[in-house]
Structure formats: C-alpha cells, structure tokens
Amino acid sequence: MAAASTGLPVWWIFCVLASFFVATSSAEGRNDSLPCVDGTYEHDDGRMCCLCGAGQHLKEHCTTSQQYGKCEHCAPNTYRSQPNSLESCEPCTSCSQPNVNLEVKQSCTSASDAKCQCKKEHYCSGDTETCTICHPCKECPEGIKVACNPRNNTVCNEKKEGVQHIGVIMGIVSILVIVLGLLAFFCIRKHWRARHQITESNAPDVEMPLAAPVVDLEPYLPDIAETIGWRDMQVIATRSSISAPIIESCQLDHPNNSQEQTVRLLQIWVEKHGEEASRKLIQILKDMGKRGKAEKVKNIVYPS
C-alpha cells in the first residue's frame, strides 16, 4: 500500500535496494581482502600492510591492516622488479662503463633493470645475461672456421703444416745467407787490409834528395790530396796541432766531397808550416808508417 501510495512500483523499489546492497558488499570486500593483490608485510605494531607493486617503493606504512600505505614510483634510472616494502629503489645497471665493451640491449624501466649485450665483434666467456665484460673476437689470418658470436670466440681454421714448414725453412735459409754474406765480407776485408799493410811495410825507405830544395806545394795540392786521402790527412793535421773545429769546418764547407775536404785541410796545413811543408809532409807520412804514400808524394814534389 505504501508503494502504491507513492506511485512507484514495488519491483522498482526492490531493484534499488538490491543494487545498494551489492555495491556496499563489494566496497567492503575491497577494503578487507582484494587490495593486497601482491601480498602483505607485517609492520612493527602487527599491522598487515599491502606490499607496493613492482616499479614502486614504500613512502609511508598503512594505518589500517589489509590496506596500502603510501607507495611512490621509482625515480628515473632506478627500479624495483618485485613487490616490496622497501623505502628506495635500486640503481639501474650501466652498460656504458669504459673498457667493458658492452651496449644496451634493453633499457631500464621502473619495474625492470637494464640488460646489456656485447658490442659487435666481441664475446663474453660467461653468461651473457649477467656478463660484466666482453673480449675482442680473435682474428684468423688462416681463415675462419666458426664465426664469433656473443657467447663464443672465433674458431680459426687449422694451420697447414706444409706452409708453416716452408715458412720456417725460408727463414732459416735467409739467416744462413746473411751470415755467410757477412763472413765473406769480413774475410775479404781482412785479406785486403793484410795485403795493404804488407805493401806499405815492404815499400822502400823514402830517401829525400840531398839538400832537398824548398818547394811550393800549392800547384801540387790536388795530386797530393788524392794520394794521401781524407783519413790520413786528418791524422797529419791532428799531429800538427790543428784544432778539431778547423778540421770539421773543412767537412762542412765541402759536404759529400772528400777530395775537396782533403785539399782544403792540406792547404791549411801548408800555410801553418810554410817553407818546410814539403819536407815535413813526407817525414810525417814516414813516421805514420805510410811509406808508400810518402814515396808517391816525394815523386810528385821532387820528380826525377
């Protein structure tokens, strides 16, 4: 009668009451059991708080059991991959450290860490998922049998023994040729020196003409210089106390021309000794044991 007096059908009032009852029941269920989808943790006073989800960390504990406290998303470059009650997130793994040869395979998110992989032409000897350093792939001059990959180093073709032996033999032959060449060079040089010394020692003693006259050596300088040579001229100049800088200047004034160097140094030597230069030059050569050269210089200065 009350429903009829209001003008509303009884069935409509029943539906409204039923909907209100269901909504109230659902709300109570979420508060008591449904919110903690990832599990709970026990707080100090015995409250059972809901765990924060992956990608979050705990900011404040719950005030009522079976409820969430305050959860916050992980800051950039940090993550939490599991539900938790921790107050901070973990730092993401860096794949760009120096000298480890890694690159990013999967970027870090708030709910998962970054994944690294070896750079091209590098491999990891351990688990590639947790690899911390990669090594350069081996090079194969003899050819590749199995190509390098992130898990394994390159496998090279087997060396051909014949080719290897030929290389060793050729190396030994080359060394023998060099050694024999050096021995031949030193033998020839030793023989030449011995022969040269015999010639010098067997040369007749140089006799100066009786009361040899003073001779101007200027016209004969080129011929005398060619006979004496640069090395012996250096010795003659040193014996006559001509300084090293003057000797060196003769070389610098006429680079790569030993004949001109000898002529210039001989000219300086002659100027130092004046009129006695011709006699002293022959005598010094005799004292040096260069009797052959002394004889040749005498024949140039005092032709018969």
- Asked which of 23-27, 108-112, 114-118, 283-287 is least confident by mean pLDDT, the reply is 23-27
Higher pLDDT, 138 or 15: 138
- Report the helix count and the strand count for the chain, using DSSP H and E: 9, 12
CATH of domain 33-88: 2.10.50.10
CB 86 within 8 A of CB 58: yes
- Answer whether residue 193 shows pLDDT above 80: no
Domain ranges in the chain?
33-88, 92-159, 218-301
Instruction: Report pLDDT for 167.
Output: 73
Beta bridge partners of 103: 117
Instruction: Report pLDDT for 97.
Output: 85
Given the structure tokens 């100027």, which residue do they identify?
Answer: 271
- Answer whether residue 301 shows pLDDT above 50: yes
Task: Determine how many CB atoms are found less than 10 A away from the CB of residue 166.
Answer: 11
Confidence of residue 172 (pLDDT cuts 50, 70, 90): very high
- Asked, colleague to colleague, whether 92-159 and 218-301 share their fold, the answer is no
CB 54 within 8 A of CB 80: yes
- Answer whether residue 295 shows pLDDT above 50: yes
- Answer whether residue 8 shows pLDDT above 70: no
- Asked which of 89-98, 156-165, 239-248 is least confident by mean pLDDT, the reply is 156-165
Instruction: Report pLDDT for 112.
Output: 94
CA distance 51 to 38: 6
Beta bridge partners of 79: 90
Homologous superfamily in CATH for domain 218-301: Death Domain, Fas (1.10.533.10)
- Mean pLDDT value of segment 276-302: 89
Confidence of residue 2 (pLDDT cuts 50, 70, 90): very low
- Mean pLDDT value of segment 45-64: 92
Instruction: Report pLDDT for 188.
Output: 87
- Mean pLDDT value of segment 20-33: 39
Architecture of domain 92-159: Ribbon (2.10)
DSSP state of 107: -
| Nearest alpha carbon to residue 83 among 122, 129, 36 | 36
Higher pLDDT, 190 or 85: 85
Instruction: Report pLDDT for 151.
Output: 86
- Answer whether residue 209 shows pLDDT above 70: no
- Answer whether residue 22 shows pLDDT above 50: no
Instruction: Report pLDDT for 68.
Output: 93
Confidence of residue 128 (pLDDT cuts 50, 70, 90): low
Confidence of residue 207 (pLDDT cuts 50, 70, 90): low
Confidence of residue 35 (pLDDT cuts 50, 70, 90): confident
CA distance 269 to 280: 10
Average pLDDT over the chain reads 82
| Nearest alpha carbon to residue 75 among 87, 67, 83, 85 | 87
Higher pLDDT, 273 or 212: 273
Instruction: Report pLDDT for 166.
Output: 76
CA distance 223 to 215: 15
